Structure 1
Amino acid sequence: DRNAELLIDEKRAFLEDKLARNVHLFFTHDPQYAMAQVTRDDKGRFGVAHEVAELRARSLAA
């Protein structure tokens, strides 16, 4: 079954893209963090930094 391998490849490509573009990810079902930035350590493992526990609305300037 190659579905698991395909999923891993797709996830790696997704995270590499977000890391290259300095994107923050939103975690809609994570009870601890609402948003974080993708990172990669010296061993090539993905992680997060600049975790945000709660998002708050901001006023829009007129």
Structure 2
Amino acid sequence: MCSKRISPTAAMTAVRQAREQVWINPGFQEQLVLFEVCQYNPHPNEGVYKKWRQKIAQHIQG
């Protein structure tokens, strides 16, 4: 995604074209979208990334 500057959808399509039996789970899809939203450079101080990490931490803690 980073080197070609493609969207998460295009990245998943490319993976599926290379290997049809790949099942990309929703958590990874979410990470791909986050990567694009963070302009291919997620940083711990960035608001969107911070919120995502907090959501994950809350989910883990239950």
TM-score normalised to the size of structure 2? 0.24
TM-score normalised to the size of structure 1? 0.24
Q: Which has the higher strand share?
A: 1
Q: Which has the higher helix share?
A: 2
Bigger CA radius of gyration: 1
